């Protein structure tokens, strides 16, 4: 018998999976992005979470999420600020370009349309987390679930049934978003 909590967990997990598939339709062909370890090995997961996810990917995704609603320049700047190097940057950019090339911006979303075109022309880095978050923002998907979906995409080398505790462990380490002031 399912309890209300189990039903709620299932619904949340289903929504995270739906967001992952929606924002990264090429999910099955992305390959590894920035997490290259085994999520079940706690020190590998913790090292990635503390060195890559929390200080770099989560802030960049949040920045891109907000920038996608403001304009192309802000979105391109958020992408360029993601400070990854070496194979991590290469994998992140390759995955982001694959997503950018396999999606289109909705009609009227000129900032995203210009950004996806700039990524395709390799004028912007096109990091996976930035492309993903920008796409999610224009569809008004909830930011906390978008972050969870990005973690899901990163950790998807594990069987889906085993993946959720690792996603939760990572998401719990991300500090809450600080509300920013916007000019009227």
Non-local CB neighbours of 125 within 8 Å, separated by 6+ positions: 79, 80, 82, 89, 92, 93, 96, 119
What is the reported pLDDT for 183? 40
Burial class (CB in 10 A: 0-12, 13-18, 19+), 162: exposed
Closest Cα to residue 52, out of 77, 33, 78, 34? 34
What is the reported pLDDT for 179? 54
What is the reported pLDDT for 62? 97
Domain borders along the chain are 38-173
What is the reported pLDDT for 168? 94
* Angle ∠(97,133,42) on CA atoms, nearest 5: 90
Residues of the chain with pLDDT under 70: 1-7, 178-184
Which residue is it, tokens 């304009």? 71
pTM (predicted TM-score):
0.91
Q: What pLDDT digit, counting tens, does each position of 126-156 carry?
A: 999 999 999 999 999 999 999 999 999 999 8
What is the reported pLDDT for 94? 96
């Amino acid at each position: 018998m399912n309890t209300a909590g189990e039903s709620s967990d299932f619904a949340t997990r289903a929504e995270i999976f739906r967001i992952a598939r929606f924002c990264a339709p090429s999910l099955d062909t992305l390959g590894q992005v920035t997490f290259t370890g085994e999520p079940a090995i706690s020190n590998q997961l913790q090292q990635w979470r503390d060195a890559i996810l929390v200080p770099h990917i989560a802030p960049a995704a949040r920045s891109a999420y907000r920038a996608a609603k403001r304009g192309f320049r802000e979105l391109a700047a958020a992408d360029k600020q993601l400070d990854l190097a070496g194979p991590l940057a290469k994998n992140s950019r390759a995955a982001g370009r694959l997503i950018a090339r396999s999606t289109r911006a909705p009609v009227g979303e000129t900032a995203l349309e210009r950004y996806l075109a700039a990524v395709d022309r390799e004028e912007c880095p096109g990091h996976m987390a930035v492309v993903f978050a920008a796409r999610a923002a224009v569809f008004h998907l909830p930011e906390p679930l978008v972050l969870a979906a990005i973690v899901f995409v990163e950790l998807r080398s594990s069987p889906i049934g085993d993946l959720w505790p690792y996603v939760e462990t990572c998401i719990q380490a991300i500090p809450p978003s600080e509300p920013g002031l916007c000019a009227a």
